[in-house]
């Protein structure tokens, strides 16, 4: 329960973080109108800070506002997902190019050690959420080696917007007996050469491989969203 007596930017920021996580996980269905009254009750917050948090999400394009109708969850369309993958590619290719030029050997060694430590878990993991965490951790850590905090911030936003679809894609990939670990090692090895252009191309090939399966990933994501929930007794 949020203490309304402390209403300030911290309160709005807390609500914003909660709502952003809900939007990223599509707790609100694509295109669905957001019931502010129910949300206010569920989160224990008044309508004023809740609306401010929702307006922030509109600015981040997680939520849409329709005048006279209210707030709606963003759509999960094939074209939007393709555009997000294209944006991801542009950001990550530049980040990895910068990482190849500036990363320290010890930081690359640490990232390689992290791959070693998680490779067995990645291969055997059956929890799609954990798979997503492992995959995203590598990409974010590699991007951080660019030394460019703005690229890292933009990439984090892109990942929030496509996390639901990427989770479905990784589950599909693992079901086929494949993981992205080998690709990650290949990209990392190219980064070690210090060749920025080659590192950027290696990352582009990696992301394009997954982007080609975006249509199937969107279909799986919709199946996850609307599949009947089975209650355990």
For the stretch 93-147, pLDDT in tens is: 999 999 999 999 999 999 999 999 998 888 787 777 888 888 899 999 999 999 9
Residue 61 DSSP symbol? T
Q: In what helix (H) or strand (E) does residue 63 lie, and over which residues does it extend?
A: strand 63-66
Stretch 20-48: mean pLDDT = 88
Rounded Cα distance, 98 and 147, in Å: 8
Q: In what helix (H) or strand (E) does residue 14 lie, and over which residues does it extend?
A: helix 9-24
Rounded Cα distance, 202 and 126, in Å: 28
Q: 14-18, 78-82, 89-93: lowest mean pLDDT where?
A: 78-82
Treating both helix axes as pointing N-terminal to C-terminal, what angle do 47-59 and 36-43 enclose, rounded to 10 degrees? 110
Which of 1 and 131 is assigned the larger pLDDT? 131
- How many Cβ atoms from other residues are within 10 Å of residue 44's Cβ? 11
Which of 185 and 171 is assigned the larger pLDDT? 185
Rounded Cα distance, 219 and 209, in Å: 17
pLDDT at 56: 92
CA-nearest of 17, 36, 27, 13 to 74 is 27
């Amino acid at each position: 329960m949020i203490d309304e007596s402390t209403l300030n930017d911290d309160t709005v920021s807390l609500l914003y973080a909660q709502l952003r996580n809900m939007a990223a996980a599509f707790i609100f269905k694509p295109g669905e109108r957001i019931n502010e009254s129910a949300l206010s009750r569920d989160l224990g917050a008044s309508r004023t800070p809740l609306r401010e948090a929702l307006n922030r999400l509109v600015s981040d394009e997680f939520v849409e506002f329709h005048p006279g109708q209210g707030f709606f969850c963003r759509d999960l369309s094939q074209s939007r997902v393709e555009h997000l993958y294209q944006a991801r590619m542009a950001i990550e290719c530049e980040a990895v190019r910068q990482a190849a030029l500036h990363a320290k050997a010890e930081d690359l060694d640490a990232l390689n050690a992290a791959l070693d430590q998680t490779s067995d878990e990645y291969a055997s993991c059956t929890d799609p959420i954990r798979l997503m965490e492992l995959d995203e951790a590598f990409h974010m850590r590699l991007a951080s080696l660019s030394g460019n905090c703005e690229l890292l911030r933009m990439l984090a936003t892109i990942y929030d917007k496509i996390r639901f679809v990427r989770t479905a894609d990784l589950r599909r990939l693992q079901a086929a007996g494949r993981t992205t670990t080998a690709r990650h090692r290949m990209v990392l090895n190219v980064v070690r050469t210090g060749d920025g252009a080659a590192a950027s191309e290696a990352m582009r090939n990696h992301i394009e491989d997954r982007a080609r399966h975006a249509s199937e990933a969107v279909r799986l994501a919709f199946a996850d969203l609307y599949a009947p929930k089975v209650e355990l007794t």
